[in-house]
Every structure is written in C-alpha cells, then in structure tokens.
Amino acid sequence: MQFKPVVALVGRPNVGKSTLFNRLTRSRNALVADYSGLTRDRHYGEGRVGAYPFLVIDTGGFEPVVKSGILKEMARQTEQAIAESDVVIFLVDARAGVNAHDHEIATMLRRAGPKIILAVNKAEGMNKVQATADFHELGLGEPVPISSAHGDGVADLIENALASLVNPVVESSEETPMTEMDEDALEQALTTEEGEEVSQELFTDHRIKLAIVGRPNVGKSTLINTLIGEQRVIAFDMPGTTRDAIEIEFEQGDKKYTIIDTAGLRKRGKVFESIEKFSVIKTLQAIEACNVVVLVLDAQSEISEQDAHIAGFILESGRALVVAINKWDGLDQDKRDWIIREFERKMRFLSFAKIHYISALKGQGVKALLKSVNEAHAAAFRKLATPKLTRELRAAVEQQPPPRKGIFRPKMRYAHQGGQNPPLVIVHGNALDAINDSYKRYLESRFRKVFKLEGTPMRIEFKSST
C-alpha cells in the first residue's frame, strides 16, 4: 500500500497560500454538526484537483506570531513539512514582485532539496512574460503563472507537481450513485421488508486498517506491542520508498488487522520501537490510509493543543474513531475525574467516538478497545436501507417538523444512502435549503440511534427537487 503524495505550499504571508489551499481541497463537505470546541485546522487537507489523490499542507499555518525575520517565522514544523513532502509549491506574488523574503525562502528551499515548483500567483489578467519575468532570478526554474483566486493554471500546476510521483492508484469509489426515485418506486421501497438487508454489512475488505495516532510519548508503540504481543504477527512490511506505508499485520479471533504506522517503527528484538520524532505528515497519511483511527491520549499529562490538532485531522478525514486514554494505571480517583472532565471539555467534538481508559503497559482495557475498533469499523461501513432510513425520517418529522424559513416549509420525502466510511445520508424533498443546523443534528441523532452508528462520523446532505 502506498501513502498519498504530499504537496506543501510555502511562501511568505499574503501571497495566497490559503486561497490556493482552499481551491485544492475544496474543503470537504462539512460534517454534520458544527463541532463546538474545534478550532478547525484548515492547513491540512486532501487534494481534490486533477486525477490523483494527494495531501496538501499549507505551511502558513505553522507561522508563529513572532515577526522577526522570515526564517525565524518558519517554525520547525515548516522545515519538517518541507523535508517530508514530495513536492513543494513555492508561491510568490505577481503583483508585489520579488521581495527579500522570497529570496530567503528560495535559499532555504534549495538547501532542503525537495522537488520545487515556483508558482507566480495573482497572475490573472497578465500575460505570462509580464507575470513571471521578475521571478527567474530566484533560480528555481521556469516560474508558472497561476491565479489561486480564479483558478487559472491551477489544475496544470498540480498535474505537473504530481507527474513524476504518483503511480496511478485507482481508488475504489465509496460513493454509491445518487438516484432520484419516483413516487411508485418510493412506495414500493417503503413496503419492502428490509430484514436481512439492514443487518448486513457491506465490507469490501474484511481486514481492518488501523492507524494508532497521537503525539510523542503517549504510548503508541507500547500499545502496538501489547496489541500484537500475544497475537501472531503475520507480516511486517518494510518500506521501499518514502511513500510506502509501513504495515504490521496481525489477527485476533476471527478478525484480521493491519496497523498503519505513524511513528516510523522499527523492529528491535521482539518489540517495535519508535525511532523517529513525531511526524505530522506521517500521522496525516496514516489517518487517510486507514479506516479506523485509535487516538491515543496521555492521562498523565494535560490534553494539549497538539492533541486537539490531531483530533481535528481525524474529524476532517471522516474516519471512524476510538479514543484511548492511556496510562490509566497509577492514577488516583481525583486525577481520573479531572482528566475525564478535561476530555469532555476540550474534545466535545469527538462525542461520536467511544472512549476507553487503558494501560497499554499493563495490557488493561486493550481487548475492549479492540472490540470498539471492530464496532466502529462495522458502523462506518454499515448498509443503511432506504425503507428504514425513510421510515425513520418520517417518524422524526412527525415528532418534530422542521421550522419554516420565511414562506418556505421544507418538505422531506425520502432518504437513501449516498456513501460509506463515513456513512452519508441523502435526504430528498423540497425547499430543503431552509433546514438549519440544529434540525440537521436532530436528524443525525435519530439516524445514529436507529442504525447504531457509534464510532463513526456521519454526513447528511439535502437535495431539493424544487
């Protein structure tokens, strides 16, 4: 298995990095609730432009507040991101011309040595020569004029950036086609017995792909060793290229698992050890590549900004999630109560996930954790039958109709499943633009309950026919 290639956006403030980032990622369909407590991290995302999947990092997000010299502004994380990415898009501003900071960044990039593409942004309405002439002096090859705001040149830029990198990995589509139903088909569907269809889970792959993520020292390698300790480790894939994921395969009961490594684990004697420092990019790649994430937190220290950031990526990715609060051993009751409250306060937006209090070191709570992983995986891939969805929708509306908006009264006719992992429910009807977030949350909680969707995020989309 291969990780998706990583494209880093680099450049001084105001050149248009976040504008380009937004265009490349066309931010995912917002997950249902507006998660209070989550500072949305808009600096990592899945690329949605061109033929191949990739990850994008806007290094502007790493800039610390101190404004003393552009190089100082670039935090260690920027350098790490540059070192770990496959290609850097270095953005400059056609309207502002070359600037001393651009030169400093160019020098730094040349030293770091990744593949660099120099993109001259804000070039809309300019001809190529006019836009790029100044920038040849940066010595980074032919500058490419683009307009992040208008989209000019952006698709070509990405094709170019990825050209030598990607093997054409054909992704299996998780979306099932959207179909309009006429009244007859709908009535027929509603009278069908869903019985078996509902309990059946549509696994395309029975192997559960697991990413165990968390900041350094929370106990990830200890947990991995405990998980595979008593089991038979089937295989341990060493990477060929930097984009190859390291995979550890094991079985328990009748389930097969693949752990996708985030920490650069190496096998030392009988156990795995983490030999690399924490890598934001590896973490992100593993989250993208897995279908269930275990987020490991350390009960013996506070929940930090970094924990919240990682949680943010997980949420953004739409992956199923189980939270492991580790190092639960040796804590007195007061400390335990405190960390439970801390988690509830800071990570409210992860309420769809099950929480386990474990000791990876002593093996306590690990079996139960794995059981929740299985359940979360099943929930993420659950088949939601149209009749049952529609009946639940109608029951929900009957109990609490959606509020009017002006003269519009939303009318919801039926619902069907539009995708898995995470489950997507598409509600069809009229004037559905008028449905507000709180009503959406209400529907979500009804669907979650009736389909037992614990452990997975879910999305609801509305399609109005008028």
Q: What's phi and psi for 300, nearest 5 deg?
A: -95, 10
Query: What is d(CA 152, CA 143) in angstroms, rounded to the nearest whole number?
Result: 14
Q: Which is nearer to ligand GDP, 217 or 464 (CB)?
A: 217
The distance of closest approach from Cβ of residue 278 to ligand GDP in the complex, given in angstroms and rounded to an integer, is 7
Phi-psi region of 214 (alpha: psi -120 to 50; beta: other; left: phi over 0): left
The distance of closest approach from Cβ of residue 19 to ligand GDP in the complex, given in angstroms and rounded to an integer, is 3
The residue count for the chain: 466
The distance of closest approach from Cβ of residue 263 to ligand GDP in the complex, given in angstroms and rounded to an integer, is 5
The distance of closest approach from Cβ of residue 173 to ligand GDP in the complex, given in angstroms and rounded to an integer, is 31
The secondary element (H helix, E strand) that includes residue 229 is helix 220-229
Q: Which is nearer to ligand GDP, 146 or 426 (CB)?
A: 146
Alpha-carbon torsion 430, 435, 440, 442, what sign?
negative
Annotated binding site for GTP: 11-18, 58-62, 121-124, 214-221, 261-265, 326-329
Q: Which is nearer to ligand GDP, 226 or 291 (CB)?
A: 226
Question: Which residue, among 205, 257, 207, 213, has the nearest Cα to 233 in the 3D structure?
Answer: 257
The distance of closest approach from Cβ of residue 229 to ligand GDP in the complex, given in angstroms and rounded to an integer, is 13
Q: Which is nearer to ligand GDP, 339 or 360 (CB)?
A: 360
Q: Which is nearer to ligand GDP, 338 or 442 (CB)?
A: 338
The distance of closest approach from Cβ of residue 61 to ligand GDP in the complex, given in angstroms and rounded to an integer, is 9
Say whether the peptide bond before residue 422 is cis (omega within 30 degrees of 0). Answer: yes
DSSP 44: E
Phi-psi region of 151 (alpha: psi -120 to 50; beta: other; left: phi over 0): left
Beta carbons within 8 Å of 114's beta carbon, 6+ residues apart = 8, 82, 83, 85, 86, 87, 88
What residue ranges bind ligand GDP (CB under 6 A)?
Answer: 11, 13-19, 60, 121-122, 124, 147-150, 214, 216-222, 263, 274, 326-327, 329-330, 359-361
CA angle 338, 344, 345 (to 5 degrees): 90
The distance of closest approach from Cβ of residue 131 to ligand GDP in the complex, given in angstroms and rounded to an integer, is 11
SS3 for 86?
A: coil
What residues are paired with 260 via a beta bridge?
Answer: 211, 247
Q: Which is nearer to ligand GDP, 330 or 401 (CB)?
A: 330
SS3 for 426?
A: strand
Residue 267 in tokens: 């096998």
Q: Which is nearer to ligand GDP, 186 or 260 (CB)?
A: 260
Annotated binding site: 11-18, 58-62, 121-124, 214-221, 261-265, 326-329
Query: What is d(CA 446, CA 425) in angstroms, rounded to the nearest whole number?
Result: 12
Query: What is d(CA 370, CA 69) in angstroms, rounded to the nearest whole number?
Result: 48
Query: What is d(CA 119, CA 148) in angstroms, rounded to the nearest whole number?
Result: 10
Q: Which is nearer to ligand GDP, 40 or 452 (CB)?
A: 40
The distance of closest approach from Cβ of residue 299 to ligand GDP in the complex, given in angstroms and rounded to an integer, is 8
Residue 452 in tokens: 């037992």
The distance of closest approach from Cβ of residue 204 to ligand GDP in the complex, given in angstroms and rounded to an integer, is 30
Q: Which is nearer to ligand GDP, 228 or 385 (CB)?
A: 228
Beta strands in 122-264 (DSSP E): 144-145, 208-213, 233-237, 247-252, 255-260
